[in-house]
Amino acid sequence: MHYPYQITSYEQYKAQYAESIANPEGFWANVAEHFTWQKKWDRVLEWNFEEPKVEWFGGGKINVTENCLDRHLATQPDVPAIIWEPNDPELHHRVLTYRELHHKVMQFSNVLKNNGVQKGDRICIYMGMIPELVIAVLACARIGAVHSVVFGGFSAQSIADRIQDAGAVMVITCDGAYRGNKTVPLKETIDDAMIGCPTVKRIIVVTHTRTPVSMIKGRDLWWEDEIKKVETHGNPYVAPEPMDAEDLLFILYTSGSTGKPKGVVHTTAGYLIWANYTFVNVFQYRPGQVHFCTADIGWITGHTYIVYGPLSAGATSLMFEGVPTWPDAGRFWDIVDKFKVNILYTAPTAIRSLMAFGQTPLMGKSLTSLEVLGTVGEPINEEAWHWYDEHIGKQKCPIVDTWWQTETSGTLISNLAGVTPSKPSFATLPMPGVLPALVDENGQEIEGNGTSGNLVIKQPWPGILRTTYGNHERMRQTYFSAYPQLYFTGDGCHRDENGFYRITGRVDDVLNVSGHRIGTAEVENAINMHSGVIESAVVGFPHDIKGQGIYAFVIFQGFHDDENLTRGDLLATVSRMIGPIAKPDKIQFVNGLPKTRSGKIMRRILRKIAEGELTSLGDTSTLLDPLVVDEIKEGRL
């Protein structure tokens, strides 16, 4: 069985693509017909990239959970919606059918309502990868509250920043989370974050690790107790809140090249349709298949391809609590065999790290259930692509290389599994509705094939971000000011002779470390918080496993004992300010930084040094003090 809007041949792709560009309104209206609306839209699309303003399906009323849950109840109540594999392989997995998930979402919707949550309220979710996270997210969507999921690796300070920016009234968390052989004390971190978050009135805590936690009277509640109260009252039906197509569905914070992370806003109808359409087409999902996306729901990949894409398609989505290398580097393959996974979607960094363990972890694993493989989050090198193809896909599974961003909400450029051609390290062709272009430094479009430039998108697709929360001007500045009338992705890109796109990496000051997006300015700000730091500059460098590593050049005064202890202090400071994911791999102490006469740090030079390209530093004629560079080169780590 195919979804009515599923593309099944290369010819059909070309035709659909052409139609989507010639007549976007007609094209997306046809797709939107296949969703459950409470009221049909009045206008398909209104937009301009000056303000910028984008509205899809204006006047329509729709609830995402009605599309993810209720509409499947009639046809497939007993199909597994979520299969959950715990961190500890000795413990039992859990299966939630569509009927059960619907019931649990209803329960927790009642809990939210009992605690005074109203439509439009913002709710911060800081949890490990357990089914209650999906339930919490969907319960918010059910009643029209706006979720802001914060990845479990962020520090109290980062959480507080996000809670304050969103004005969140509630936090949903767990006592703790398991990750490999570690227990992460989530509630404790939330307690630290609460100093300075007066908007938060309630914290709901799921019991998971049974780590001792403080429970403050009048503020903190156990999830299980709240559910019991609801059950005592017969778990009343909660109608799916009628949401305007453009009402907020969620906020997700992401890093940029300047300042604090910004709250990327996605709205209801456009996001739902984009998540569903790209899920069904990119992976070529067929009902009955088991889809395993290894991302964390704290990132956009988990939002779109664990929760909303699969569930809106009535799919079975596998969710894994743990890490790929615990108890050993065969864990993913065990999970694939245990649940007969058909689609595996992971990050190049995971592939590279598993590749490093060689063939042993693959011994005795069959992997014969696999039909489609995917990658996301960073460019994939050819070596990793071929390893994935040979050792995991046994050269019989198409590999989709999906290029997209938090801001795009779903895939923009990718091959369609087994339907359109693939090429190692190329994302290949745009999805219907996506009109990419390459521009040079001056914003001049570069036409023709066999060329490179900065990647921009010329018209809106249903899943484009609508604003940056609380600051629309920041959205304009960040994405629509570099090139007037164009959405700027921040990525460099090559278009080959056949018109296939290959994303080459960020051209701004954003790093991609193990698929995690980190702004260099953010890391610098964190390092500069340390009392001995005079100034710092952070750049990326190529890293075999992580893709990019973080290299910090630091001017420091007043060492206590040796340099390594000070390095430790700086790492502790970064962990405290952002989280362990932002810790630099290398810290080089320097006496000065290369600057122009006007005082601007010349990062280009530092990047070259960090990359080990010491002989070709490029134009250094504008340097204020060339001696600084020689000294940095000598001290390179």
CA–CA distance, 26 with 43 (Å, rounded to integer)? 11
**What is the three-class DSSP state of 189?**
helix
Choice between 107 and 489, CB closer to ligand WT7: 489
CA–CA distance, 627 with 432 (Å, rounded to integer)? 53
User: Is position 109 an interface residue for ligand WT7 (rule: CB under 6 A)?
Assistant: no
**What is the three-class DSSP state of 497?**
coil
The per-residue DSSP string of 433-486 comes to: T--EEEE-TTS-EE-SSSEEEEEEE-S--TTS--EETT-HHHHHHHHHSSSTTS
Choice between 246 and 378, CB closer to ligand WT7: 378
CA–CA distance, 159 with 149 (Å, rounded to integer)? 10
Residues in contact with ligand WT7, shown as a per-residue x/- string from 210 to 239 under the rule CB under 6 A: ------------------------------
Whether 86 and 322 have beta carbons less than 8 Å apart is answered as yes
* C-alpha distances out from residue 415 to 174, 395, 418, Å: 38, 17, 8
User: Is position 567 an interface residue for ligand WT7 (rule: CB under 6 A)?
Assistant: no
Residues in contact with ligand WT7, shown as a per-residue x/- string from 413 to 442 under the rule CB under 6 A: --------------x---------------
Range list of H helices, 305-403: 309-312, 331-339, 348-355, 382-387
- Interface with ligand WT7: number of residues (CB under 6 A): 23
Q: Where does this chain touch ligand WT7 (CB under 6 A) — which range of 225-233, 296-304, 458-466, 556-564?
A: 296-304
Whether 48 and 17 have beta carbons less than 8 Å apart is answered as no
User: Is position 401 an interface residue for ligand WT7 (rule: CB under 6 A)?
Assistant: yes
Name the minimum Å distance from CB 636 to ligand WT7: 26
Residues in contact with ligand WT7, shown as a per-residue x/- string from 488 to 517 under the rule CB under 6 A: -xxx-----------x-xx-----x----x
User: Is position 125 an interface residue for ligand WT7 (rule: CB under 6 A)?
Assistant: no
User: Is position 378 an interface residue for ligand WT7 (rule: CB under 6 A)?
Assistant: yes
Query: Phi and psi of 161, rounded to 5°?
Result: -55, -45
CA–CA distance, 555 with 570 (Å, rounded to integer)? 12
Secondary structure letter of residue 6 according to DSSP: -
Choice between 174 and 376, CB closer to ligand WT7: 376
Binds ligand WT7 by CB under 6 A, chosen from 150, 376, 539, 632: 376
Identify residues 33-92 at the interface with ligand WT7 (CB under 6 A). Answer: none
Choice between 135 and 539, CB closer to ligand WT7: 539
Residues in contact with ligand WT7, shown as a per-residue x/- string from 245 to 264 under the rule CB under 6 A: ---------x----------
The helix (H) or strand (E) run that includes residue 564 is: helix 563-577
Choice between 37 and 403, CB closer to ligand WT7: 403
Name the minimum Å distance from CB 156 to ligand WT7: 22
Name the minimum Å distance from CB 295 to ligand WT7: 7
**What is the three-class DSSP state of 85?**
strand
Identify residues 188-207 at the interface with ligand WT7 (CB under 6 A). Answer: none
Query: Phi and psi of 589, rounded to 5°?
Result: -85, 130
Binds ligand WT7 by CB under 6 A, chosen from 155, 346, 405, 420: 405
**What is the three-class DSSP state of 167?**
coil
Chain positions contacting ligand WT7, by CB under 6 A: 254, 299-301, 376-379, 401-406, 427, 489-491, 503, 505-506, 512, 517
